[in-house]
Amino acid sequence: MQEEVLKIISDVSKEYNVPPYVLERAYKSQFKLLRELIVKSREVKEYPIVYIRYIGKFIPRKYFIERSDEFRKAKNKRDNGGLEELSDT
């Protein structure tokens, strides 16, 4: 996790006397829920707008969701390709 997020979790846990792992799970669960909604919506081709408290609305763009696998493969190929070239020399 990012240092900033860990610091916020630490501060809130001290302020409210809540164990940090509880806050960390709550933080991660909202994104897990968002990911599950996107996976389900891909099957029916209906993309819901989701409001994440304190962050705002997540408005999925049909174009990006449908092409996300393609974008991910291109990024992995680019990242792995660069490493392979360095290892050959």
Q: What is the pLDDT of residues 41-74, one digit of tens each?
A: 777 777 788 887 777 888 877 777 777 778 778 8
The reported pTM is 0.43
Domain ranges of the chain: 1-58, 61-89
Question: Taking the CA atoms of the chain, what radius of gyration do you get in angstroms?
Answer: 18
58 contacts 34 by C-beta, under 8 angstroms: yes
Using alpha carbons, select from 24, 19, 31 the residue that is nearest to residue 5: 24
Per the rule left: phi > 0, alpha: psi between -120 and 50, beta: everything else, 54 is left
Residues 24-43: tens digit of each pLDDT: 888 888 778 777 887 787 77
Exposure on the CB side of residue 72, measured as CA atoms within 13 A: 6
